[in-house]
Amino acid sequence: MIVLGLTGSIGMGKSITAEMFRDMGVPVHDSDAVVHELYEGEAIAAIANKFPQAVLDGIVDRQALGKLVIGEPEAMRELEAIVHPIVAAKRREFLDNARKQDCPLVVLDIPLLFETESENLCDKILVVTAPAEVQRERVLSRLGMTVDKFERILASQIADEIKKEKADYILDTSLGFEHARNTVASIVRELKTKDIPNA
């Protein structure tokens, strides 16, 4: 089974790219989606203990939590110590199930793949990218996003150029949907024909 790591900085089009893999029948583990679920269940108590002002009406308010941890390295480390082990356990479960089903290819959608040193989980890595001005326009159009928040998020992520240097595949999402879909299809065809032994 080939494990493809999918990553990219904020606003680069990673979620849409992941959906393209799903459309082509490739199982995708979405780390962000797992975190969303934890904020509504398993991680609430631990987060309420560390960041009580981030829990509203019994669930974690992502906007409130973001204000507390983005740009605050110590607070971010405390949050990651709560969330990352649970996400890692669910990812292992996903991979175990995929192996049992003899899946030839799976995707690990991990926004902070390099930042969390998760690249060792992957046989190959795809980095989604776009010109900086396109990224900025996309992100600042999001509800609740500010220039200050965007810049703090960027500062917490490894630079796009460094990510691209570490990639086996690069997808520029500014080139349009058809280009992206063709690139994903080409990667799927290539990797489904490879036979990389499991570590």
- pLDDT above 70 as % of the chain: 97
Closest CA to 111 of 184, 187, 35: 35
- Looking at domain 34-102, which of 3.40.630.10, 3.90.1720.10, 3.40.50.150, 3.40.50.300 is its CATH number? 3.40.50.300
Residue 102 predicted with pLDDT over 80: yes
Asked whether the beta carbons of 43 and 51 are under 8 A apart, the reply is no
Q: Are strands 59-60 and 55-56 parallel, antiparallel or unpaired?
A: antiparallel
What CA–CA distance (Å, rounded) separates 68 from 60? 12
Other C-beta atoms closer than 10 Å to the C-beta of 125 total: 22
Question: 110-115 contacts: CB < 8 A, separation 24 or more?
Answer: 110/5, 110/6, 110/7, 110/31, 111/7, 111/8, 111/10, 111/14, 111/31, 111/32, 112/7, 112/157, 113/5, 113/6, 113/7, 114/7, 114/158, 114/162, 114/163, 114/166, 115/156, 115/157, 115/158
CA torsion sign for 30, 33, 37, 38 is positive
Indicate the domain borders of the chain.
Answer: 1-27+104-199, 34-102
Does this model's pTM top 0.75? My answer is yes
Grade residue 85 by pLDDT with cuts at 50, 70 and 90: very high
Q: What is the pLDDT of residues 118-149, one digit of tens each?
A: 999 999 999 999 999 999 999 999 988 999 98
* Average pLDDT of the segment spanning 73-90: 92
Residue 47 predicted with pLDDT over 90: yes
Q: Which residue has the tokens 């204000």?
A: 67
Do 1-27+104-199 and 34-102 come out as alike in CATH topology? Answer: yes
Residue 156 predicted with pLDDT over 90: no
Looking at every residue in the chain, the average pLDDT score rounds to 93
pLDDT of residue 195: 57
Residue 82 predicted with pLDDT over 70: yes
Grade residue 2 by pLDDT with cuts at 50, 70 and 90: very high
* Average pLDDT of the segment spanning 22-43: 93
- Measured between alpha carbons, how far is residue 172 from residues 26, 37, 41, 86, 150 in Å? 21, 29, 35, 31, 20
pLDDT of residue 116: 86
- Looking at domain 1-27+104-199, which of 3.40.50.720, 3.40.50.300, 3.50.7.10, 3.30.2270.10 is its CATH number? 3.40.50.300
pLDDT of residue 38: 92
Q: What is the pLDDT of residues 165-189, one digit of tens each?
A: 999 999 999 999 999 999 999 999 9
What CA–CA distance (Å, rounded) separates 185 from 174? 17
Grade residue 198 by pLDDT with cuts at 50, 70 and 90: very low
Query: Per the structure block, which two tokens stand in for 172?
Result: 């520029």
Other C-beta atoms closer than 10 Å to the C-beta of 95 total: 19
What CA–CA distance (Å, rounded) separates 124 from 129? 16
